[in-house]
Amino acid sequence: AQKITQTQPGMFVQEKEAVTLDCTYDTSDPSYGLFWYKQPSSGEMIFLIYQGSYDQQNATEGRYSLNFQKARKSANLVISASQLGDSAMYFCAMRTKAAGNKLTFGGGTRVLVKP
Amino acid sequence: DTGVSQDPRHKITKRGQNVTFRCDPISEHNRLYWYRQTLGQGPEFLTYFQNEAQLEKSRLLSDRFSAERPKGSFSTLEIQRTEQGDSAMYLCASSLKGRQETQYFGPGTRLLVL
């Protein structure tokens, strides 16, 4: 079975500061992909960043970076220089080769950026 | 560049009625997925298609639910005899088969069953 755990239900962050969102995963499959999505109040899931299990380097996309620690089975998202528009729900998700192509999501973390 | 679109965006219905949702994927994407998201939770997988073939269905998809993708393009999700427990956001996603395959989501359809 595969599982994603996000232990932070909500976080406040000051504008222009960095924030780290925690994600741990559980799978016995050596081949998997990890994703982060942002969901504003409008409801649409917006893809942010991807990390493959065999990737040697941590993924980065603009202000988003993924701190991938394979031995600890963690894939934390770091948002640098937070902006007011970053206020949203953030979901970590995983796809494994064994489980097919569906995504398994964590429970999400709500981020509120304060001016 | 056209993303994934879903119609309607909102639907209010009475218990026992049938509802149908439509999803139009990104044009070159051959895989299409349906997820359901209830308040305060992450999305849960319902079913997925590769081209017109429905390759996997979740146990969440009861007999009252049916999904189709008749020509490998748009997809419909029908719920028959709706129940209050069906109230949720229904999300559609599409992807192109490949190594770093990424699912891109539509805006979702919010269903409220009274």
Which residues are B66's β-sheet partners?
Answer: B78
Half-sphere exposure of B69 (CA within 13 A, CB side): 24
Give the three-state DSSP class for B36.
strand
In angstroms, the Cα distances linking A91 to A39, A60, A77, B81 are 8, 17, 10, 31
The answer to whether residue B100 scores a pLDDT higher than 80 is no
DSSP string, A73-100: TEEEEEE-S--GGG-EEEEEEEEESTTT
pLDDT in tens, B11-70: 999 999 999 999 999 998 999 999 999 998 999 999 999 999 999 999 888 899 999 999
The predicted structure's pLDDT at residue A5: 97
To the nearest whole angstrom, how far is the Cα of A71 from the nearest Cα of chain B?
A: 21
Whether the Cβ atoms of residue A26 and residue A2 lie closer than 8 Å to each other:
yes
Task: Give dist(CA A65, CA A58) in Å, integer.
Answer: 7
Identify the CA nearest to A54 among candidates A101, A97, A4, A100: A97
Confirm or reject contact between B93 and chain A (CB < 8 A): yes
Give the three-state DSSP class for B25.
coil
Confirm or reject contact between B111 and chain A (CB < 8 A): no
The predicted structure's pLDDT at residue A105: 97
Task: Give dist(CA A39, CA A110) in Å, integer.
Answer: 9
Residue B112: what residue type?
Answer: L
Task: Give dist(CA B35, CA B105) in Å, integer.
Answer: 10
To the nearest whole angstrom, how far is the Cα of B110 from the nearest Cα of chain A?
A: 9
Query: Residue A102 corresponds to which tokens in the numbers above?
Result: 């569906």
* pLDDT by residue, tens only, chain A of 115 residues: 789 999 999 999 999 999 999 999 999 999 999 999 999 998 899 999 999 999 989 999 999 999 999 999 999 999 999 999 999 999 999 999 888 789 999 999 999 999 9
Phi, psi (degrees; rounded to nearest 5) at B85? -70, -10
The answer to whether residue B1 scores a pLDDT higher than 60 is no
Whether the Cβ atoms of residue A16 and residue A68 lie closer than 8 Å to each other:
no
Residue B1: what residue type?
Answer: D
Asked if B41 lies within 8 A of A93 by C-beta distance, the reply is no
Phi, psi (degrees; rounded to nearest 5) at B86? -80, -10
DSSP for residue A72: T
The predicted structure's pLDDT at residue A2: 86
Q: Dihedral of CA A104/A90/B73/B44: which sign?
A: positive
Residue B60: other Cβ atoms inside 10 A? 12
Query: Residue A65 corresponds to which tokens in the numbers above?
Result: 């970076």
Confirm or reject contact between B43 and chain A (CB < 8 A): yes
